[in-house]
Amino acid sequence: MMPYKRVVFVDGDATARSVMAAAIMREEPIGTEVEVLARGLVVLFPEPVNQKIEAILANNNLTAKGHEAVQLTPEDIDSDTLLLVMEKDQIKKVQELSPRAEHVATVSGFAGFAGDIEPLYGADLPTCGKCFEILQGLVKIIAEKLLNEEDSPY
């Protein structure tokens, strides 16, 4: 049984990495009752998805249609929420936001690997595509791990 009711991918502004990860996760067989979200740590206004990211998602038969960047808030977090950040230093920021942020890890770390998913600010299309490939592999591992977990891994 899936140990979480919500999986939230978090990055800086919720216009690229978290959007890709959420789109990939929504296609994984983790159950229809699991809510998958993309949130940002610093969202000043509801920005659309980066156009390069939209193109990469479309090329992989995925979509983020209608997505606008949304700030991560304490209301997004409860004991049934898994928060997956892109960079290690974002863990502390999430935990400072809410004492209920019990289940926080990096995407790489939760999948069993070291390292951050680097920001895509100003990145070219091939770099964004490589990031998608990395996230795709990690998210598939995460989905499989979640399906096989009876209880929270934390």
Q: Is the pLDDT of residue 154 over 80?
A: no
Asked if 38 and 18 count as a contact pair (C-beta separation under 8 A), the reply is yes
Q: How many domains does the chain have?
A: 1
Q: How confident is the model at residue 153 (pLDDT cuts 50, 70, 90)?
A: very low
- The three-point CA angle 17-148-72 to 5° equals 30
Q: Is residue 27 part of a domain?
A: yes
Predicted TM-score (pTM) of this structure:
0.92
User: Which residue in 110, 98, 135, 111 sits closest to 22, CA to CA?
Assistant: 135
The CATH number covering residue 92 comes to 3.40.50.2300
Q: How confident is the model at residue 152 (pLDDT cuts 50, 70, 90)?
A: very low
pLDDT digits (tens, 9 = 90+) for 47-83: 999 999 999 999 999 998 889 999 999 999 988 999 9
Q: Is residue 154 part of a domain?
A: no
The 10 Å CB-count burial string (b at 16+, else e) for 120-148 is: beebeeeebbebbebbbebbebbbeebee
pLDDT digits (tens, 9 = 90+) for 5-30: 999 999 999 999 999 999 999 998 87
